[in-house]
Chain A
Amino acid sequence: MSQEILERRYRRLLACYPYAYRAAYGEEMLAVALAAARPGARWPDPGEAADLIFTGLRRRLGSVRPASHDPAWRDAAGIAAVIGPIVMAAFAVTPNPGPGRWQYFPTASFSGIIVAALWFAVAVAGMLRWRRFALAGSCVLSAGLIYEFSRAALNEPNKFGVFGWKVVFAALIVGSALLALKSKPHLLSWWAAMATAAIAMLLAVLPAIQSGLPGAGSFAAMNSYMQLQTLLYEALPAGLVLVLLIIVVRQKAGVRSRLMIMLGAAAATFAFDMAAFSGLLSIEDPLNYPPLGPGWWQSPAVMVAVPSSALPSA
């Protein structure tokens, strides 16, 4: 009886070991620990217990490699470091909330075009394997973004939460660029990058084209372009998502799952923001988003979740 209790307690201690190790040596170790126990003992010997906990946890830690040592993570990062900036470029201009109302069709802004062009440059640098340049570029652009959003957060707290996905994406891109420093060449085909970039570029320049059309600014013109605009603003992001999915699916299994983790977290934030604005989440007025509502905690939560999920790979 006491033997059974002792065995159960030792089994619990053995849970400190990783599953695979326990499956291979658990029974054997249990036999050793039980044979070494005093007759009639109901509790594991403290020294023996401490030793099992210590060596078990060390075994667990030993089987975890930092992401930077894992080639699959580096490859996934190499791809994310190219498609991330392209996505940022696509949404550098679109969509932004106007003063007091939601402008679904944004106006062209010169600074927006510049930012989009810079993100494209970072993506090209990633493709050309100018890794340091890509890293420096994404750091600078992300810093600018964080500055812009912290200013927005101070003036209009509501905006910050709703566009938190950009901050999450920027953090992901910087992390990827850092991890990608030692990734293999030719991770992404030029065709895949070009297809993504083409859609992104259309999205980025759409407001500029729109404001250059005859009769721009007039209510009648707005109305007549409305249908086409609606179509484009729905079709282009959908196309972008589709191309990204194809890129992800075509990777090797190990790289694919890591890429899905990386992009998935950012995509979830993005989807949340978009859902909040399109009314899916029945937030009546997105600009009166409660300051402590979901938008506030989701971005920090994902910013913590993405890097921490990227660290242990075993």
Chain B
Amino acid sequence: MTDKVLQEPAFLVLTALAGGPQHGYGLVEDVLRVSDGQVRLHTGTLYAILDRLREGGLIEVDREEIVESRLRRYYQLTNAGAERLATEADRMQRNASAAASRLQQLPPRMRLRPEGGMA
């Protein structure tokens, strides 16, 4: 887990948790917000991601609450998780700037959006 590249949904979940502890549905909504409405996590996928992140020691359970007679678990980033997210963000930034600088070298007629459409 620690060596493999984070998949986008896992990256987004870590990003959401970087904003503070969140429970399951909070994460679904936050990931949707962070990804500009692009990534809508289904419940099964979300918990598969949470399992893998927890097994990899990147997240942990912060606290449990009972809301409307339902268990609600809050997850939070661990130190390892924060480190991992930073490394991953760095890597993506490097990739993105590499792509941007190459795009700058393209002949003018192929530069579709000169101002850059990076989200």
Q: Let me know if A36 and B43 touch, CB within 8 A.
A: yes
CB contact list, A20-44 vs B, under 8 A: 25, 27-33, 35-36
Give the interface centre of B42, B46, B73 by most chain A CB atoms within 10 Å.
B42
Chain A contacts for B23, CB-based, 8 A: 28
A48: chain B residues at CB < 8 Å are 42-44
User: Which A residues fall within an 8 A CB radius of B?
Assistant: 25, 27-33, 35-36, 47-48, 51-56, 58-59
- A47 and B42 in contact (CB under 8 A), knowing A36-B28, A55-B48? yes
Contacts of A35 in B (CB 8 A): 25, 28
Contacting pair B43 A29 (CB below 8 A): yes
- Let me know if A52 and B24 touch, CB within 8 A: no
For A27, the chain B residues whose CB sits under 8 A away are 70-71
How many residues of B are counted as interface, with CB atoms below 8 angstroms from the partner's CB atoms? 15
A30 to B47, CA, bound (A): 11
Q: Would you give 19 A-B contacts (Cβ < 8 Å), ordered by A?
A: A25-B47, A27-B71, A28-B24, A28-B71, A28-B73, A29-B24, A31-B24, A33-B43, A36-B43, A47-B42, A48-B42, A48-B43, A48-B44, A51-B44, A51-B45, A52-B42, A52-B43, A55-B44, A55-B47
Which residues of B are interface residues toward A (Cβ below 8 A)? 23-25, 28, 42-48, 70-73
The answer to whether A31 and B72 touch across the interface, beta carbons within 8 angstroms, is: yes
- Verify B48–A28 contact, CB threshold 8 A: no
> Nearest Cβ distance between residue B42 and chain A, in whole angstroms?
4
Known: A27-B70, A32-B25, A55-B45. 6 other contacts (CB 8 A): A28-B24, A29-B43, A31-B25, A36-B28, A48-B43, A52-B42
> What are the residues of chain B within 8 A of A54 when measuring CB–CB?
44
State the Cβ distance, B8 to closest chain A Cβ, in Å: 16
- Which A-chain residue is minimally distant from B46 (CB atoms)? A32
What residues of A have a CB within 8 angstroms of the CB of B71 in the complex?
A: 27-28, 31
Task: Verify A28–B72 contact, CB threshold 8 A.
Answer: yes
**Nearest A residue (CB) for B66:** A27
CA of A28 to CA of B64, assembled, Å: 10
Residue of B28, B44, B47, B73 contacting most chain A CB atoms (<10 Å): B44
Known A-B contacts A27-B71, A28-B72; A51 and B25 likewise in contact (beta carbons under 8 Å): no
A54 to B45, CA, bound (A): 9
Considering the chains assembled together, what is the distance between the CA atoms of A59 and B47 in angstroms?
Answer: 11
Q: Which 10 A-B pairs give the minimum distances between C-beta atoms?
A: A55-B44, A51-B42, A32-B24, A35-B25, A51-B44, A52-B44, A33-B43, A27-B71, A31-B70, A32-B25
> Which chain B residues border A59 with CB–CB below 8 Å?
48
Which B residues are CB-close (under 8 A) to A29? 24, 43-44, 47
**How far in angstroms is the closest Cβ of chain A from B72?**
7
- Alpha-carbon distance A35/B106, docked complex (angstroms): 47
Contacts of B25 in A (CB 8 A): 31-32, 35-36
Contacts of B43 in A (CB 8 A): 29, 32-33, 36, 48, 51-52
Report Cα–Cα, A29/B25, bound state, in Å.
9
Give the distance to chain A from B25, nearest Cβ to Cβ, in Å.
4
Complex Cα distance, B70 from A33, in Å, reads 13
Residues of B within 8 A of A53 (CB): 44
CB of A89, distance to nearest CB on chain B (Å): 49
* Distance, CA A35 to CA B42, complexed state (A): 11
Complex: how many Å from CA A54 to CA B43? 11
CA distance A51 to B43 in the complex (A): 7
User: Which residues in B have their C-beta under 8 angstroms from that of A25?
Assistant: 47
Q: Which residues of B lie under 8 Å from residue A52 when comparing CB positions? A: 42-44
> Which residue in chain A gives the minimum CB-CB distance to B67?
A31
Measured CA separation A27–B45 after assembly (Å): 16
